[in-house]
């Protein structure tokens, strides 16, 4: 029997056969931190218990994510609850509710744990709010399929709704993606789930391959890589495609990039096991590790500080980008001799507000080309 997990909806809807691969996304430091944050949120919502942050530095990811969640909850969730109560609504608030569908139309079942499900009943009419907290660095439209699956579960467990609003909330940036689903929307999505459940052997390469642990062994991905390698004139090929085919090719390109990323990570692991340096016969480095500092705009005061330096149009173009983007915008508004001073002053203001997080990023530097290696 196939068990489809709502959290994996972006994968199994696009490629039902991918669910045969064991899932490795629950391991690693970022996954562990995400689990910790969700545990804190669950206990806070259920028992009104605040986490003990004594063991975490002020600039730690754990503190940053928790503070961002509190801010988003106060600015997004609390006002919706307050408004519903002012309208005399009955509220049912469920955190991490286990739901399941065992439908004859699906081979197996669909299960899921929505982070927060709020059911609002007004004059006998039912409305839903579903929130899912994202601790990762990637903000993708694919996350909405996970919430659509939760909405499908809510209908199966509670009956029809007037509509259900879904929110994918990204705790690192404070951004969120919102959609309103009607019953026809949810019914149509349910058909997609049934199709995936009834076609467990179907493989399809696309954007979802970036998150699939079996991408490097998948026949569909391998075929896609070979197909892309055979494109002799990319510009002419894409120009002749229909818009739908262009989008399809873009997803296939993402699949190839995902496979390359997995190979790159494996290569880095080998170099690190050599102590960060692989040497040739003459003792010279062939490959070595390099460390750079990544600067990320974080925290609730980012927009406040940036608005003191730029207008709202400029702010919108740099909030999702790096600090370097903000420095360029500020530098572009002053004379040539003052550009460096202005950028430095901006960084100092952001530092004072605790709005910059610096992390070390480990990469690799190729010291010799393959031909040189072979000659040695």
Q: According to the model, what pLDDT value does residue 23 have? A: 60
Q: According to the model, what pLDDT value does residue 174 have? A: 82
pLDDT above 90 for 127: yes
pLDDT band of residue 62 (cuts 50, 70, 90) is confident
Query: What digits encode the pLDDT tens for the residues 278-288?
Result: 777 777 777 77
pLDDT above 60 for 319: no
pLDDT above 60 for 254: yes
Lowest pLDDT segment from 59-63, 72-76, 304-308, 362-366:
362-366
pLDDT above 80 for 236: yes
pLDDT band of residue 166 (cuts 50, 70, 90) is very high
Output 140 or 120, whichever has higher pLDDT: 120
Q: What's the mean pLDDT when you consider all of the chain?
A: 80
Output 367 or 356, whichever has higher pLDDT: 356
pLDDT band of residue 186 (cuts 50, 70, 90) is very high
Lowest pLDDT segment from 49-53, 152-156, 237-241, 323-327:
49-53
In three-state secondary structure terms, 367 is coil
Q: What is the mean pLDDT of residues 306-332?
A: 76
Fold category of 3-198 in CATH:
Lambda Exonuclease; Chain A (3.90.320)
pLDDT band of residue 293 (cuts 50, 70, 90) is confident
- Nearest one of 17, 65, 147, 15 to 357, comparing CA atoms: 65
Q: According to the model, what pLDDT value does residue 372 have? A: 46
Question: What are the domain boundaries of the chain?
Answer: 3-198, 207-271, 285-366
Sequence-separated (6 or more) residues with CB below 8 Å from residue 290: 362, 363, 364, 365
Q: According to the model, what pLDDT value does residue 375 have? A: 46
Percentage of the chain exceeding pLDDT 70: 86
Q: What is the mean pLDDT of residues 72-76?
A: 87
Predicted structure pTM score: 0.69
Tally Cβ neighbours within 10 Å of residue 180.
Answer: 9
- Range among 48-57, 125-134, 177-186, 208-217 with highest mean pLDDT value: 177-186
pLDDT above 60 for 207: yes
- Asked if 306 contacts 375 with a C-beta cutoff of 8 angstroms, the reply is no
Query: What digits encode the pLDDT tens for the residues 6-59?
Result: 888 888 888 888 877 766 555 556 667 777 777 787 777 767 777 778 778 777
Q: According to the model, what pLDDT value does residue 24 have? A: 53
Q: What CATH number belongs to 285-366?
A: 1.10.10
Exposed / middle / buried, residue 103 (Cβ in 10 Å: 0-12, 13-18, 19+): middle
Place of tokens 């500092």: 293
CA 230 to chain centre: 31
In three-state secondary structure terms, 256 is helix
Lowest pLDDT segment from 46-60, 87-101, 343-357:
87-101
As a whole number of angstroms, the longest Cα–Cα distance in the chain is: 82
Q: What is the mean pLDDT of residues 322-343?
A: 81
pLDDT band of residue 135 (cuts 50, 70, 90) is confident
């Amino acid at each position: 029997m196939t068990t489809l997990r709502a959290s994996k909806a972006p994968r199994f809807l696009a490629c039902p056969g991918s669910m045969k691969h064991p899932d490795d996304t629950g391991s690693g430091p970022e996954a562990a931190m995400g689990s910790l944050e969700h545990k804190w949120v669950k206990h806070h919502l259920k028992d009104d218990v605040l986490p003990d942050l004594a063991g975490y530095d002020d600039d730690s990811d754990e503190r940053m994510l928790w503070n961002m969640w509190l801010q988003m909850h106060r600015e997004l969730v609390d006002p919706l609850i307050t408004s519903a109560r002012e309208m005399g609504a009955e509220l049912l608030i469920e955190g991490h509710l286990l739901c399941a569908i065992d439908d004859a139309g699906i081979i197996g079942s669909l299960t899921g744990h929505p982070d927060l499900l709020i059911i609002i009943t007004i004059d006998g009419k039912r409305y839903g709010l579903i929130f899912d907290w994202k601790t990762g660095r990637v903000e993708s439209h694919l996350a909405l399929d996970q919430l659509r699956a939760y909405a499908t579960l809510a209908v199966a467990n509670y009956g029809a709704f007037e509509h259900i609003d879904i929110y994918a909330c990204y705790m690192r940036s404070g951004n969120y993606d919102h959609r309103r689903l009607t019953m026809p929307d949810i019914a149509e999505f349910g058909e997609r789930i049934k199709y995936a459940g009834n076609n467990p052997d179907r493989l399809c390469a696309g954007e979802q391959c970036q998150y699939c642990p079996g991408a490097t062994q998948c026949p569909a991905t391998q075929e896609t890589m070979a197909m892309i390698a055979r494109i002799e004139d990319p510009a002419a090929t894409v120009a002749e495609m229909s818009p739908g085919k262009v989008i399809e090719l873009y997803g296939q390109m993402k699949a190839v990039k995902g496979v390359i990323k997995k190979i790159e990570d494996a290569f880095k692991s080998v170099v690190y096991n050599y102590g960060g340096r692989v040497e040739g016969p003459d003792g010279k480095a062939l490959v070595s590790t390099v460390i750079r500092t990544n600067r990320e705009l974080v925290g609730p005061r980012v927009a406040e500080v940036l608005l003191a330096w730029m207008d709202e149009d400029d702010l919108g173009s740099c909030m999702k980008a790096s600090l370097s983007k903000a420095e360029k915008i500020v530098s572009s508004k002053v004379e040539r001799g003052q550009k460096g001073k202005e950028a430095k002053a901006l960084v100092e203001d952001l530092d004072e507000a605790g709005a910059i997080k610096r992390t070390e990023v480990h990469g690799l530097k190729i010291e010799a080309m393959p031909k040189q290696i072979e000659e040695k």
